[in-house]
Structure 1
Amino acid sequence: MMTTPTADLSAAGVSIWLDDLSRERINSGAFKHLIEDLDVVGVTTNPSIFAAALSKGESYASQVGALAEAGADVDQAVFDITTHDVAQACDIFAAEAERTNGADGRVSIEVDPRLSRDTQGTIAEAKRLHAKVQRTNVLIKIPATVEGLEAISATLAAGISVNVTLIFSLERYRAVINAFMIGVEQAKENGHDLSKIHSVASFFVSRVDAEIDKRLDAIGTEEATALKGKAGLANARLAYQIFQEQFSSERWQVLKNAGANAQRPLWASTGVKDPNLPDTLYVTGLVAPDVVNTMPEKTLEATADHGVVEGDTVTGTYDASNEILNRLDALGISYDEVVEQLETEGLDKFVASWGELLETVQAALDAAKG
């Protein structure tokens, strides 16, 4: 029987989530094709995605008009518009959620990125988003800043499923897993059904290569050139090693026995930015059991068209991956400096996109008011 690359990915333990959401996509029925033909089982969003959808989406006009008539300010309008889309997408993916006992069929919505350094503000906003969407298969996205760690724990402790986003460093990833376990331990104490709580940890991939390759180009030696396009995969593969270690610990076993679900690694930023690299690199190079790969539509289509899935491409690569990071360090490229810069830039990009979203919605509200 013939299979497809996306079916092969699913069979290898990779859940395919689409990194895009718009009301046009919801209303057109496009998700049916993605679910049935391309094995898509979830959706992620971020401020950039919503800004793009709203800037060119005529289907928002009716709701914007109603919000303008009701006197909603721009922050309330953005909240109502984005939660509406996410709730509808949750309904579309509800069957996938039921089929997988809540592991997939998930739709993510992000806390206002302006709160990324505000622990209590993030907790309050996470609860507000969850209450507004009112769907069991929603994931609340919280950035993995230092301030976000406590918010991750508190949100999980309230029985709310979380997508931890914007992870670049292995050290921070360890802290995220610890925050997850603290949250689940507290949820248990609070009497929540642990089997209903799910979480993913979004580890960013292509941005690592984009920054490190720029530094390798500046060095310009043959050795530096030979390392281009290798750091992103190495970093993600070492994250998976941490996942395997932490979720086979005695601490985790106690929670697992109480019904808890492991926090799965999610490969984010999987669109290839360097045209000289294979366009499916961050998909076929990161195949392993119990992971999610959230893809932009272009990457999903490339994978479906010519992706070659050859089983697990992660386990067994850890020594080689460490060697790549060691060689980068020997060339004077500081891993700690790179990941700190990427986190700062990532947050700045999210805040800027949120600003664009606010401007777009404010303009629409003004136009609706005449």
Structure 2
Amino acid sequence: MSSTNLETLHRNGVSVWLDDLSRELTDGGELQRLVDLGVLGVTSNPTIFATALSKGDRYTEQVTELVKAGADTEKAVFEITTEDVRRAADVLKPVFDRTDGLDGRVSLEVDPRLARDTAATEESARQLWKAVGKENLYIKIPATVEGLAAISTALSEGISVNVTLIFSLDRYRAVMQAFLTGLEQAKLNGHDISKIESVASFFVSRVDTEIDKRLDEIGTEEAKALRSKAGLANARLAYQAYEEVFSTPRWQVLKESGARAQRPLWASTGVKDPNLPDTLYVTGLVAPNTVNTMPGKTLDATVDHAEVSGDTIRGSYGESQQVLDDLERLGISYSEVVELLETEGLDKFEKSWTELLQTVTDELERVKTQVDAQ
């Protein structure tokens, strides 16, 4: 079983990943079905874990063991999420082997409350990497200013990294420099850098959501004509930056030692505006050596009716820059928008983590009541 549309994306250099994870998926056979369909990886986040835990009873056995062991909420979250990721990693291992480690990976996020603390993020990355114990793992680290050094450190220690929450082109360039620094240090540390992988998760739809709101407030015909163009333009210019950085002499030295480039990953690819085509951020972001991680609805839409017409990024850079220039002329500050989106993104990550902690606390109490009654 395979999807023609996913195969077409793959032929054009796009690896399709699923932005979802649960034991319903891993243990119920659904993730394997999606892998057979052409899905090549999995990303996760605290909201996904909380949702998974609140549905069904596949976690009851492990939660019961944690209750009997006297685990607190923080310990339980650590054990449950790392176990979920291990199970997904096992399902994806054949893809990992088939693609020589390029795909077949699953991402696990450091505690987002640590995003402004470099040393704590570094330690969390080490603990998660060791606990999962699977070579086809990515540790997700937010692309805050404080996170940049942690990204380099993790890579230097042989930890593969998914850099998340990137909105701005300047920050993306800094992320790529952090990647190069990390690989250079890993090489000095004696690591086989051909085994260290990284992706840079550039968020798309949230850019349109924020900018379209401001365009609607302006309300002119020129403003209306720019609606829902910024997200694609921003991501396409990110790919231009990727092409520039990974054609430098500095990169060539690492490449000759076996390194593979940090791939751009398009995240937040589900459309927020129901008036937009539901595959807009899939078909509009096709280029070699990229990843598109899709929520289930977007993946289903892509399989069903996406019209993949080949590369839709290269050759668009002038037009994309014009979109951002036109927005500035209308008084919409790019730097202000991306800074706001990062702040809001971190707030959402922390809120999701708090919700996950509460969900696990409730589950521990529910199971403890049952255990005590036995």
Q: Which interval holds the TM-score relative to the shorter structure?
A: over 0.9
Which residue in the other structure is 1:99 paired with? 98
Which residue in the other structure is 1:14 paired with? 14
The alpha-carbon deviation at position 57 of structure 1 amounts to 3.3
Which residue in the other structure is 1:284 paired with? 283
Work out the CA distance in 2 between the residues paired with 1:175 and 1:119.
Answer: 15
Work out the CA distance in 2 between the residues paired with 1:234 and 1:127.
Answer: 36
Work out the CA distance in 1 between the residues paired with 2:80 and 2:295.
Answer: 22
Work out the CA distance in 2 between the residues paired with 1:51 and 1:331.
Answer: 41
SS at match of 1:58: coil
Check whether the contact 2:112–2:350 (CA below 8 A) recurs between aligned residues: yes
Work out the CA distance in 2 between the residues paired with 1:77 and 1:97.
Answer: 28
Work out the CA distance in 2 between the residues paired with 1:57 and 1:256.
Answer: 46
Check whether the contact 1:167–1:203 (CA below 8 A) recurs between aligned residues: yes
Please, which runs of 5 or more residues in structure 2 have no aligned partner? Answer: 370-374
Which residue in the other structure is 1:275 paired with? 274
Which residue in the other structure is 2:372 paired with? none
Which residue in the other structure is 2:244 paired with? 245
Moved over 6 A (4+): none
Check whether the contact 1:47–1:350 (CA below 8 A) recurs between aligned residues: yes
Is 1:23 aligned to 2:23, yes or no?
yes
Q: Which amino acid aligns with 2:248?
A: S
Which residue in the other structure is 2:167 paired with? 168
Q: How many residues align?
A: 368
Q: Which amino acid aligns with 1:157?
A: S
SS at match of 1:344: helix
Q: Which amino acid aligns with 1:69?
A: K
Check whether the contact 1:161–1:199 (CA below 8 A) recurs between aligned residues: yes
Q: Deviations over 1:225-277 (max 9, x none)?
A: 01001000000000000000000100000000011110000000000000111
Is 1:222 aligned to 2:257, yes or no?
no
- Matching of residues 189-208 of structure 1 within 5 Å: 189-208=188-207
Q: Deviations over 1:164-200 (max 9, x none)?
A: 0000000000000000000000000000000100000
Which residue in the other structure is 1:310 paired with? 309
SS at match of 1:294: strand
- Matching of residues 10-89 of structure 1 within 5 Å: 10-37=10-37, 39-89=38-88
Work out the CA distance in 1 between the residues paired with 2:314 and 2:56.
Answer: 43
Is 1:126 aligned to 2:125, yes or no?
yes
Which residue in the other structure is 1:299 paired with? 298
Which residue in the other structure is 1:232 paired with? 231
Which residue in the other structure is 1:353 paired with? 352
Cα RMSD between the aligned structures? 0.9
Check whether the contact 1:90–1:107 (CA below 8 A) recurs between aligned residues: yes
Check whether the contact 1:202–1:268 (CA below 8 A) recurs between aligned residues: yes
Q: Which amino acid aligns with 2:207?
A: V
Work out the CA distance in 2 between the residues paired with 1:368 and 1:193.
Answer: 45
Q: Judging changes above 3 Å, is the alpha-carbon distance between structure 1 residues 11 and 221 closer, same or farther for their aligned structure 2 residues? A: same
| Structure 1 range deviating more: 47-56 or 76-85 | 47-56
The alpha-carbon deviation at position 293 of structure 1 amounts to 0.1
SS at match of 1:239: helix
Check whether the contact 1:130–1:138 (CA below 8 A) recurs between aligned residues: yes
Q: Which amino acid aligns with 2:179?
A: F
Check whether the contact 2:152–2:178 (CA below 8 A) recurs between aligned residues: yes
Check whether the contact 1:23–1:57 (CA below 8 A) recurs between aligned residues: no
Q: Deviations over 1:189-227 (max 9, x none)?
A: 000000100000000000000000000000000100010
Q: Deviations over 1:321-347 (max 9, x none)?
A: 000000000000000000000000001
The alpha-carbon deviation at position 3 of structure 1 amounts to 6.9
Work out the CA distance in 1 between the residues paired with 2:339 and 2:54.
Answer: 31
Q: Which amino acid aligns with 1:344?
A: T
Check whether the contact 2:165–2:345 (CA below 8 A) recurs between aligned residues: yes
Check whether the contact 1:204–1:268 (CA below 8 A) recurs between aligned residues: yes
Which residue in the other structure is 1:159 paired with? 158
Work out the CA distance in 1 between the residues paired with 2:366 and 2:264.
Answer: 43
Check whether the contact 2:26–2:32 (CA below 8 A) recurs between aligned residues: no
Work out the CA distance in 2 between the residues paired with 1:57 and 1:180.
Answer: 39
Work out the CA distance in 2 between the residues paired with 1:209 and 1:103.
Answer: 30
Query: What fraction of aligned residue pairs are identical, expressed as a percent?
Result: 65
Q: Deviations over 1:297-335 (max 9, x none)?
A: 100000111100010000000000000000000000000
Work out the CA distance in 1 between the residues paired with 2:55 and 2:31.
Answer: 19
Work out the CA distance in 1 between the residues paired with 2:190 and 2:32.
Answer: 37
Q: Deviations over 1:266-291 (max 9, x none)?
A: 00000000011100000000000000
Work out the CA distance in 1 between the residues paired with 2:56 and 2:260.
Answer: 37
Work out the CA distance in 2 between the residues paired with 1:100 and 1:4.
Answer: 19
What TM-score results when the alignment is normalised by the length of structure 2? 0.97
Q: Which amino acid aligns with 2:277?
A: P
SS at match of 2:134: coil
SS at match of 2:286: coil
What TM-score results when the alignment is normalised by the length of structure 1? 0.99
Q: Deviations over 1:64-121 (max 9, x none)?
A: 1110110111001000000000011001000100111111001000000010001000
SS at match of 2:70: coil
Work out the CA distance in 2 between the residues paired with 1:26 and 1:200.
Answer: 23
